[in-house]
Chain A
Amino acid sequence: MLTDYIPLIFMVVFGFGIGVVFLLAAEALGARRRTKEKASTYESGMPPVRTARERFSVKFYMVAVLFILFDIEIVFMYPWAVQFKELGSTAFVAMILFIVLLLAGYIYVIRKGALRWD
């Protein structure tokens, strides 16, 4: 029923609303005594060296791309799991085939060393 979603919308709006209120209150209520040192980046007491916008390890990109691949496949399994009894063994065999294909890709990724962190 679509009316079930009305309270959900309320809660999402209220939740993010509380976030906005807290943020504005924090900015309005806090003391304000700006100095040059306070406005600089924290680097354990040393004057900051260069900026943080530099290149970082490509492995983080690999994890992100692989996550998207696998997550879509997981979402694909949800409808099957909800209707498992109705769909019966044919759908189960199909799902096993799907998992085997998934595993083939997974083994390729592992063998390629995409997830090696050392």
Chain B
Amino acid sequence: MSELVWILIEALIKAVVILTMILLAAATLVYFERRISAFIQNRYGPNRVGPFGLLQPFADVFKLFLKEDLVPKVADKRFHRLAPIISLGVTLAVYSVIPLSNYVNIDTGDTVRKVYFGIAPNVNIGFLFVLAMTSVGVYGITLAGWSSNNKYSLLGGLRSSAQMISYELSMGLSVIGVLLVSNYFTTSQNGNWTNTLSLNTIVMNQSGWKWNILLQPLGFIIFLVSAFAETNRAPFDLPEAEPELVGGFNTEYSGMKFGMFFLAEYGNMATSAALITLLFLGGWQLPFPSHWLGLAEGSVWLALAQFASFLLKIILLAIFFIWVRWSIPRFRYDQLMNLGWKIMLPLSLLNIVLTGIILLII
């Protein structure tokens, strides 16, 4: 069969598998959040639907689908419908550049194909695509807030978008440090891969314990805090500060339209955890040399082991996200903006300059 047919089949299978995985992951994260918050607050949490309450999120989704869909009469109907599509679509689309493991060799008869687990992990725009998509994600929230024609929604949407764009600056700047280090360790193998923005390259350059958390500790902290702010999670959950804003930008959404924002929120949490893992915690790299397992590069079992390592790091980070949310009180809005513009931004510039100087000296 021709090359193009293979690419199309591969793309179709991968898109279906990975989309299912993300939606399952978002549902599981909701379950985790409810159980862990219950544990922290000395309650039981959902434990009746299915074993340990594991089926609770699916029951919730079915319920949401059957709920009445309310749209206020004064709302701008077109944008009110568009906003949840943008939010969920962007969350799912970001996963296309995330590599879930190294390649697997698949024998197709006449040639051996290198198949990567991940939609397009080697696209050389990599992280730029992530930045672009998260910027589009701001539109979903702003439109939701504005189109509802409700004061709570408008305030929630404005706060949320201002917060997201403020922290996107320090997020983008902290990644430059990672790119500098990654570029320094680039070794081209038979001219196969040179340094690009592709997330797979960044992971490859972290092989052998050169994890960026050790080389870029300041960048890691900046990125972590920005990720919390980007996903609108506590201590930066001002957009949905219940005591002042009811529900924030999604006040006027009901049924599955609300559910879409909810899924997008938890999907974003999984994305942030995945990005932190890829950029700073070695991505799918195993925490020990891969030859210890005695498996050849390109074998299915090695790829599965790498995927398991990636998944474990993401789950630990997600638990950390939840733990923080239920332990730390919320910021005030001026504190939040001051932290973003007056502390994080100069710190991330300092990080770039320091990294550059150190790399030039050694």
CB distance from B97 to the nearest CB of A (A): 7
Beyond A41-B74, A42-B252, is A117–B246 a contact (Cβ under 8 Å)? Answer: no
Is the pair B195, A82 in contact by a Cβ cutoff of 8 Å? yes
B residues in contact with A75, CB < 8 Å: 128, 172
Bound Cα distance A75, B64 (Å): 40
Chain B residues closer than 8 Å to A16, beta-carbon distance: 85, 89, 92-93
Contacts of B66 in A (CB 8 A): 29-31
Residue pair A85, B186 in contact (C-beta under 8 Å): yes
Let me know if B169 and A70 touch, CB within 8 A.
yes
Contact residues of A between 3 and 38, Cβ < 8 Å to B: 3-8, 10-12, 14-16, 18-20, 22-23, 25-27, 29-33, 38
Q: Decide if A104 is an interface residue (CB 8 Å cutoff).
A: no
19 contacts between A and B (CB under 8 A): A7-B14, A8-B96, A11-B19, A11-B95, A18-B23, A19-B89, A23-B256, A23-B260, A32-B68, A39-B72, A41-B150, A42-B252, A64-B161, A64-B162, A75-B172, A78-B197, A81-B179, A99-B352, A118-B334
Q: How far is the CA of A56 from the CA of B259 in the complex (A)?
A: 29
Q: Is the CB of B166 within 8 A of A26?
A: no
- Whether A117 pairs with B333 at a CB distance below 8 angstroms is yes
Give the residues in chain B near A63, CB-CB below 8 Å: 162, 165-166, 337
Given contacts A4-B122, A27-B69, A33-B68, contact A115 B86 (CB under 8 A): no
Q: Among the listed stretches B4-12, B32-40, B221-229, B306-314, which one makes contact with chain A, having 4 or more residues with CB under 8 Å of it?
A: B4-12
B84 interfacial contact with A, CB 8 Å: yes
Chain B stretch 44-91: residues in CB contact (< 8 A) with chain A: 64-74, 81, 84-91
The distance from the CB of A29 to the nearest CB of chain B, in whole angstroms, is 5
Name the A residues within 8 Å of B341 (CB-CB).
110, 115
Which residues of A come within 8 Å of B, CB atoms?
Answer: 3-8, 10-12, 14-16, 18-20, 22-23, 25-27, 29-33, 38-44, 51-53, 56, 59-60, 63-64, 67, 70-71, 74-75, 77-78, 81-85, 89, 92, 95-96, 99, 102-103, 106, 110, 115, 117-118
Residues of A close to B67: CB separation below 8 A: 30-31
A60-B342 contact given A15-B89, A42-B152, CB 8 Å threshold? no
Q: Does B295 contact A (CB under 8 A)?
A: no
Q: Give the contacting residue for A82; candidates B65, B81, B179; CB below 8 A.
A: B179
In the complex the two chains form, is A81's CB within 8 Å of B180's CB? yes
- Whether the Cβ atoms of B70 and A15 lie closer than 8 Å is no
Which of A15, A67, A118 is within 8 Å of B166, CB to CB? Answer: A67
B195 & A83 in contact (Cβ 8 Å cutoff): yes
Query: Which listed residue (A41, A78, A89, A103) contacts B252, Cβ 8 A?
Result: A41
New A-B pairs, 15, CB < 8 Å, besides A29-B65, A59-B162 = A3-B4, A7-B11, A8-B96, A11-B120, A19-B92, A22-B88, A30-B65, A31-B66, A31-B67, A41-B149, A41-B150, A60-B161, A82-B195, A96-B353, A96-B356
Is B233 interfacial (CB 8 A cutoff)?
no
List the A side residues contacting B212 at CB < 8 Å: none
B168 in the interface (beta carbon within 8 A): yes
- Give the nearest-CB partner of A80 in chain B: B176
Q: Which residues of A contact B81 (CB under 8 A)?
A: 23
Distance (whole angstroms) from the CB of A98 to the closest CB of chain B: 11
**B277 close to A (CB within 8 Å):** no
Q: How far is the CA of A50 from the CA of B54 in the complex (A)?
A: 45
Residues on the B chain within 8 Å of A106, using CB:
345-346
Are B72 and A23 in contact, with the CB atoms below 8 A?
no
Q: Specify which of B70, B90, B338 is in contact with A39 (CB 8 Å cutoff).
A: B70
B260 near A83: Cβ-Cβ < 8 Å? no
- Interface centre among B67, B91, B154, B176, by most A CB within 10 Å? B176
Residues in B neighbouring A77, C-beta threshold 8 A: 173, 176, 352
Please, which residue of chain B has its CB at the minimum distance from the CB of A74?
B172
Q: Give bound CA distance, A110 to B345, whole Å.
A: 12
B139-182 CB contacts (< 8 Å) to partner A = 148-155, 158, 161-162, 165-166, 168-169, 172-173, 176, 179-180
Q: Which of A10, A51, A59, A102 contacts B119 (CB 8 A)?
A: A10
Contact status B257-A52, CB under 8 Å? no
Cβ of B106 within 8 Å of any chain A Cβ, yes or no, is no
Q: Judge whether B176 and A60 touch: CB under 8 Å.
A: no
